[in-house]
Structure 1
Amino acid sequence: MKDRSNALGRIDHMLTIQSDEEINYWRNIRVKALSSRGLSFRGHDEKISSLDNGNYLMSMELIAEFDTFLAKHIARYGNSGTGHTSYLSSTTCEKFIRLMGEIILMEILTAKYFSLIIDSTPDRSYVDQLTIVIRYILPHGSPVERFLNFISNTGHKSEQETNAVTSTLTQFEIDISNCRGQSYDNTANMAGIYNGLQAKIKEISPLAEYVPCSAHSFNLVGECWIGL
């Protein structure tokens, strides 16, 4: 219908363009603001006016206070429940997240060389989650760190973690031979010079130098200081 309107030169053609520009403007504000700061999109629920509805809906509600079009949309479609198209649900959030993931992956592949940052911690349901973060340089020279993936229940042995890392990089078509740095905590399974994760990664990519995580090292210093 939009193409036909353009071809026929209908009077609402300019209104359609204006509407599209407005939608893209606010979409860019929401997505760029949240993603540029590494903020999560979804919360514990998807209810408008809830304090636990996450950053995406919170930002929508904030913008709606200054934009009558969005305010009317939220008033009409907010909390409409499943089976109703609202563009406010977790389905829309997941689409944004997938799109951002594709952009980040393209950045990593364009940068070519990267470093690995890996750590694990139990989530709220006590399932151990291995977090993989990639650090690389943008074309204009600024370093960035981007979350790549969560892996559940990989185990804490260095062989298990090595398999998890290599399989994840293969999944995203990232060549591990381009790895130039590693940063983990100081435990033997991670930092061990013979059988630790860093040693096994270095066997695959000899130029991937290991540097202990500064935050973990500082924590150990703090614990020793308190002990004294």
Structure 2
Amino acid sequence: MWHLIKKTEKNKKKYRIRLSASVIATKGLLNGALSFRGHDESETSLYRGHFIELLKLFGVVNEEIDKVILSNAPRNNQMTAPSIQKEICNCFAAEVLKKIFYELGDDVFSILVDESRDVSKKEQMAMVLRYVDKFGFVKERFVGLVHVTETTVLSLKKAIDELFAHYNLSLSRIRGQGYDGASNMSSEFNGLKALILKENSSAYFVHCFAHQLQLVVVALANKHHQLQQNVTSTLPTTKNEQHPLCSKSN
């Protein structure tokens, strides 16, 4: 019995070392915004991706780590699977969000929302909180990317409600909302702006300044013929093509 207990404690120590190495490697890659996976992660590959290569370096500089990672670890407990990497990343994300909400406290804030498609053509909604910290600095913090079935007003509003419920936020604390001006976002009568204003009349709408600048540049290019010619001369176009800034449809 004592032999089994001693062996179990030994395995626990190895597991903790292996997990710590994976966590440190994940932290380094996240700090540098680097990719984790490699094109070929087989043992015969010259470069198996940043994550595994970092673990190999840990083993080179620390003999104790080298004894318990990768090929020296059990095949079903190497702590290198993509699912393990994602789980560790989610833990870091939870800690970052915890810090953001601690800094925000019970104060008011504004929301910035945009919708787009990812590379797999799935619709998604991104949300950023804008608030003033206790030192008077304006902070903008990304808090979530939510996949939605469609980008209709009701679908986006439901996603916001679910995100707020998950993080224990209240619509009553919103003091501003900013979108890109699309009809489903800022429409006066039935857009997302209007739905939030019905629940909180203090959530004033501010048009996205980047989108405003784009509209100004487009309008200027359409009105100013010399500028229009200069823009079109900078990029070669075919007979039937037109530069985006000079297109009436934009």
**Residue 236 of structure 2: aligned partner:** none
Partners of 2:66 and 2:134 lie apart in 1 by 39
For residue 246 of structure 2, what is the aligned residue in structure 1? 227
Q: Residues 114, 83 of structure 1: CA spacing in aligned structure 2 closer, same or farther, 3 A cutoff?
A: farther
Which AA in structure 1 matches 2:81? Answer: S
Aligned to 2:85: 93
Residue by residue over 1:67-124, the C-alpha shift from the partner in whole angstroms, topping out at 9 and shown as x without a partner, is: 724798499617x9x9532222223322222222322332343213332222222222
Which consecutive unaligned segments of at least 5 residues does structure 1 have? 6-15
Following superposition, the deviation at residue 42 of structure 1 comes to 4.7
1:106 to 89, 93, 98: 98
Cα distance change on mapping 1:94 and 1:139 into 2, 3 Å: farther
Alpha-carbon offset, residue 183 of structure 1: 1.6
Which of 156, 162, 175 aligns to 1:161? It is 156
User: Once the 2 structures are TM-superposed, how far is the Cα of residue 185 of structure 1 from its aligned partner?
Assistant: 0.8
> Letter of the aligned partner of 1:227 in structure 2?
C
8 A contact 2:59–2:69 mirrored in 1: no
> Aligned match of 1:145 in 119, 141, 154?
141
Give 2:238's aligned residue.
none
Change in Cα spacing, 1:70 to 1:151, as seen in structure 2 (3 Å) is farther
The answer (yes or no) to whether the contact 1:134–1:148 under 8 Å persists in 2 is no
Is 1:185 equivalent to 2:180 in the alignment?
yes
* Structure-to-structure mapping, 1:115-154, within 5 angstroms: 115-138=110-133, 141=137, 143-153=139-149
User: Residues 194-209 of structure 1: matches in 2 within 5 Å?
Assistant: 194-209=189-204
- CA shift in 2, pair 1:191/1:207, >3 Å: same
The code of the aligned residue for 2:70 comes to Y
Structure 1 partner of 2:60: 68
For residues 40 and 196 of structure 1, do their structure 2 counterparts lie closer, same or farther at Cα, with a shift above 3 Å needed? farther
Counterpart of 1:105, as a letter, is L
**Distance verdict in 2 for CA 1:205–1:104, change over 3 Å:** farther
Give the Cα–Cα distance (whole angstroms) in 1 for the partners of residues 97 and 83 of structure 2: 21
- Report what 2:50 is aligned to: 58
How many percent of aligned residue pairs carry the same amino acid?
18
C-alpha RMSD of the superposition: 4.2
Distance (Å, rounded) in 1 between the aligned partners of 2:132 and 2:21: 28
Aligned partner of 2:148: which letter?
Answer: S
Please give the per-residue CA displacement for 1:28-79, whole angstroms capped at 9, x wherever unaligned: 57526625x6x3765576827688x7xxx5266358558724798499617x
Residue 156 to residue 86, structure 1, CA distance change in 2 (3 Å) = same
Question: Matched residue of 1:211: which SS?
Answer: strand
Taking structure 1 as the reference length, the TM-score comes to 0.66
29, 41, 44: which is aligned to 1:47? 41
| Greater C-alpha radius of gyration | 2
Q: Please give the secondary structure, in 2, of the residue aligned with 1:135.
A: strand
- Structure 1 counterpart of 2:10: none
The offset of 1:190, in angstroms, is: 0.7
If the length of structure 2 is used for normalisation, what is the TM-score? 0.61
Q: Aligned partners of 1:44 and 1:214: how far apart in 2?
A: 39
